[in-house]
Chains A and B, each alone.
Chain A
Amino acid sequence: MCVLVCSRERVGDAATRLLAELALRGKVLVIDGGNCFQAYPLARALRERTTSLDLLSQRVLIRRAFTAYQMLALLESTPLAALPVVILDLLVTFYDETLPAGQARWLVQRCLQEIERLKGAAPVFLLLRTCLLPQRRFLHEMVYQKADTLFYEQEKPTSFAQPALF
């Protein structure tokens, strides 16, 4: 499992580039947990690389989850197949403050078990946005521990400060 952690803005761009490359090679399944799949930029990216857009746009298969429970249901219902799986923003739905932390931990554990299962048949790519909720950072740690390869983009300092004059 290859994990890329980057800023919210870059998850969409990185996903578009990755999916365009994968679609040129065959079918690819996208599981979108953060509603960050960019259909039009992906179509444009494919058009830059090929003239047979219709064919390639049939190769990109998409499933979207809007709650943590839906994310688990999606992963559970995904059959083992020899096509790469790209999971976008796996953890966003787990930040929902109405979802208790214990429940979130349990659900992520089960999601990771399902990802392990999928990994047995084809490569799995996870694109995560950096965690902005310190109280849910443990969910990220759980994912990092399962990663075979981890690419991490450093967070920029977010709070502003008056620059010193001297």
Chain B
Amino acid sequence: MARVERTGWLMDVYTRPGGELVCWLLSEDGQRWLLPMDFPVTFYAAGSSAVLRQAWRFLQGRGVHLSRQVRRDLFHGERIVLAVTVDLPGRLAEVHRRLAQTFPLLDYYDADLPLAVRFVARTQVPLLGRCFFETDGQRLLGLQPLESAWEMQPLLPPLRVMEIECEANPALHPPQEITIRCDRRCFRFTVQPLRAFLANLQALLGNYDPDIIVTRYGDTWLFPFLGEHAPSFNPNRDEQMKVEYRRERSLFAYGQVLYRGAQALLFGRWHIDRCNAALFSEIGLMGALEMARVTGMGVQEAIRKSPGAGITAMQMQTALRDGVLIPVVKQQAESTRTLANLIRHDRGGMVYQPLVGVHHHVAELDFASMYPAIMVRYNISPETLNKNDAPAGLIPRTLQPLLVKRLALKQYLHTLDRRDSRVSDLKARQTALKWLLVVCFGYLGYKNARFGRVESHEAVTAISRELLLQAKENAEEMGFSVLHMYVDSLFVKREGVRGEADFLPLVETIQTETGIGVTLEGVYRWLVFLPARRDQRIPVANRYFGVFEDGTLKYRGVALRRHDTCPYVARTQLDILGCLAQADDPRERWKEAWALVNQRLRSLQRRQAAVEGLQMAVKLSRDPQAFRRPSAAAQAACQLQAEGVAVRAGMRLFFWYTRQGVSITPPNADDLDWERYARLVFRAATEILDILKPSRPVRQFHLPLCRR
């Protein structure tokens, strides 16, 4: 084939078993290209010169290029390193593993970077970004970027999407029928006989040639099932590749046990399992593409991993572009501090307890992306700690474009009508960026963050507390009462002030004084701050419900927001709020709300509620054998194990309350524990309505002080 030049999109990069890098490109004429490319990669080792010399001798004759270089470590400054260059990127991990096993005392850098991150940093072509490429049909000869990852309205590639769904959870019932949707067509196939099903699936894959396969249980059932029963079936576009399976695991992060299901990754096309992609339900495909574009992680990775992995990938890109070494393991330990110092500095965000009760015409003011904005504005990065006039740090430089893009998208969204067809896509993209910004602060102190340091984490919260206090003073100087402050938001009101326009001067003042963007979330017609369950006199932070002037509800910290609330109870609580929202004062609708609750309770007594709405969901906090008491979660876990399902900590389990305990399968109406569900409904109702209870007029008796 003659040399051709094309304009198109870089979709993904990966390595073949031989170790060579392959670029998946989509040209504007709709052609899909899988082109190998020369892409040597380098990792570094640093340490004592004697050990480095031994390492050099060890690597000689092993097909690598060696050189002595001086490179910059973010914490140690310039270091003399041994640069090890491997022609085939797929071989790097093996070379590094052998070297690290033989020389464990050396410090290793750039040895475990995701290939896509390396590729994007070097070529400047973002994933899903438009590019110009040259090929002879066999190899990729040249690649140039035509846009950056920060393009506000990038032109999207014309993607072909295939959806594969099964009717039930395969962990409990082996699916009998599979539904496949592609190009507005819907096909239903029975799984057995398997040979016919495979022939149909293969034909659809061949004819339609999808770029994305979106499944339900594709990671945990469909592809492992096909791999086991039909080893010759290959769903990849790249026929040299096999499906890559990654095992399930439970991990402890962010103060909770998380479960990551097994994964099945494809090559030359993407596979997204809706049930195993944490963010997919919220950000959808558009959000996933945006996340891949800005982070440099492949779409399949970006949608399955936490946003923290995305932030790390972005930091790696910045470091690679700046020539900063990326350590394989973080070794910077906390400096010595006293107890007094720790108590003074290691605090979280500012919380100002709310004034419990009903309030009218309350404005909620939010600092826009407060923590990332602080990190950028105050140049907070591990290497800039305790340094005045330091150049912009690695973290602020990574976050700056992300922050700008998210705010620009948000502002653009505000200019559009709600019914505009672009709104949903823009919202998804904006939400994807929001999640990256949300976790970037936590990642400063996260144990496995390459460039994290707990002191910089503390610096951010210290500044945030100061800024919130500054905002409180501004509000009080302007005659507002501050009802509640919570980390990056404050609730204020003033007698005689009702409309949004009345609060704008305060917004502008806080913005000017703090230097951080402030948004007016809205003005509540009424807002109720709830007390603690145990004692009505004790306020609880971030536990409230209210209705904005336009009738929109907002609620935090109530049963409705909890993941373990069953749909029937959640629906009831939402209806109660809807009932209260019709009045100018929620106390006026207290009786009507209770009438609604009684109606729901009667439905339960008559056993008229749908079983699906009573399904409970809990996250397993530990492995089943570690439970000490037979809690509902423990019982559900035991039943699943008895069914042959492998249950691990962090998994989300579904069950129903029955008279005998719990059931993981939908029970008969006679077996359900209706009384227990009634108690849950009652509890959810009292959570909201108790505080609105009309107080009885106190009758005062004036007793004679002394008898005449």
Which chain A residues have a beta carbon within 8 Å of chain B's beta carbons?
29, 39-40, 42-43, 54, 56-67, 69-70, 72-74, 77, 93, 97-98, 103, 106, 132, 156, 158-160
Give bound CA distance, A156 to B627, whole Å: 12
Give bound CA distance, A88 to B448, whole Å: 20
Pairwise interchain contact A160-B629, C-beta atoms closer than 8 A:
yes
Give bound CA distance, A9 to B330, whole Å: 28
Question: Of B330, B336, B338, B626, which one neighbours A132 at CB under 8 angstroms?
Answer: B626
Query: A160 with B627: in contact, given A39-B343, A57-B339, A97-B251 (CB under 8 Å)?
Result: yes
Contact with A along B334-356 (1 / 0, CB 8 A): 11111110110010000000000
Known: A63-B337, A160-B629, A160-B634. 16 other contacts (CB 8 A): A57-B338, A58-B340, A62-B342, A63-B334, A64-B334, A66-B447, A67-B330, A70-B330, A70-B333, A70-B447, A93-B447, A98-B448, A156-B628, A158-B627, A159-B628, A160-B628
Give the residues from 435 to 488 in chain B that come closer than 8 angstroms, CB to CB, to chain A.
Answer: 447-448, 454
How many of chain B's residues touch chain A, expressed as a range?
20 to 34
What are 22 contact pairs spanning A and B, CB under 8 A?
A39-B343, A56-B339, A57-B343, A58-B338, A58-B339, A60-B339, A61-B336, A62-B336, A62-B339, A62-B342, A63-B337, A65-B334, A66-B447, A67-B447, A69-B329, A74-B334, A98-B448, A132-B626, A156-B628, A158-B626, A158-B627, A160-B630
B625 interface residue, CB < 8 Å from A?
Answer: yes
Question: Of B249, B454, B628, B630, which one neighbours A97 at CB under 8 angstroms?
Answer: B249
Contact with A along B613-631 (1 / 0, CB 8 A): 0000000000001111110
Give bound CA distance, A150 to B184, whole Å: 70
B332 interface residue, CB < 8 Å from A?
Answer: yes
B104 interface residue, CB < 8 Å from A?
Answer: yes
Pairwise interchain contact B343-A40, C-beta atoms closer than 8 A:
yes
Give bound CA distance, A159 to B339, whole Å: 38
Query: A67 with B448: in contact, given A54-B340, A73-B331, A160-B634 (CB under 8 Å)?
Result: yes
| B676 shortest CB reach to chain A, Å | 20
Give bound CA distance, A73 to B107, whole Å: 12
- Identify the interface centre among B336, B626, B627: most chain A CB within 10 Å of its CB: B336
Give bound CA distance, A73 to B333, whole Å: 7
Give bound CA distance, A36 to B490, whole Å: 32
- Identify the interface centre among A40, A54, A69, A132: most chain B CB within 10 Å of its CB: A69
Pairwise interchain contact B343-A43, C-beta atoms closer than 8 A:
yes
Pairwise interchain contact B338-A61, C-beta atoms closer than 8 A:
yes
- Identify the interface centre among B251, B339, B630: most chain A CB within 10 Å of its CB: B339
| B115 shortest CB reach to chain A, Å | 19
Query: A63 with B332: in contact, given A97-B251, A106-B104, A160-B628 (CB under 8 Å)?
Result: no
Query: A39 with B333: in contact, given A158-B628, A160-B627 (CB under 8 Å)?
Result: no
Question: Of A43, A65, A77, which one neighbours B339 at CB under 8 angstroms?
Answer: A43
Query: A74 with B346: in contact, given A57-B338, A158-B628, A160-B634 (CB under 8 Å)?
Result: no
- Chain A residue contacts of B454, Cβ below 8 A: 64, 66
Give bound CA distance, A57 to B336, whole Å: 13
In chain B, what residue has the closest Cβ to A102?
A: B101
In chain A, what residue has the closest Cβ to B447?
A: A66
Give bound CA distance, A119 to B122, whole Å: 49
| A155 shortest CB reach to chain B, Å | 12
| A28 shortest CB reach to chain B, Å | 10
Give bound CA distance, A65 to B447, whole Å: 8
Give bound CA distance, A67 to B450, whole Å: 11
- Chain A residue contacts of B346, Cβ below 8 A: 39
| A83 shortest CB reach to chain B, Å | 11
In chain A, what residue has the closest Cβ to B631?
A: A160
- Chain A residue contacts of B249, Cβ below 8 A: 97
In chain B, what residue has the closest Cβ to A19?
A: B339
Query: A67 with B329: in contact, given A97-B251, A160-B628, A160-B629 (CB under 8 Å)?
Result: yes
- Chain A residue contacts of B634, Cβ below 8 A: 160
| A79 shortest CB reach to chain B, Å | 10
- Chain A residue contacts of B104, Cβ below 8 A: 103, 106
| B114 shortest CB reach to chain A, Å | 15
Pairwise interchain contact B338-A158, C-beta atoms closer than 8 A:
no
In chain B, what residue has the closest Cβ to A107?
A: B104
Give the residues from 309 to 343 in chain B that come closer than 8 angstroms, CB to CB, to chain A.
Answer: 329-340, 342-343
- Chain B residue contacts of A57, Cβ below 8 A: 338-340, 343
| B74 shortest CB reach to chain A, Å | 15
Pairwise interchain contact A70-B340, C-beta atoms closer than 8 A:
no
- Identify the interface centre among B331, B448, B629: most chain A CB within 10 Å of its CB: B331
Give bound CA distance, A60 to B337, whole Å: 8
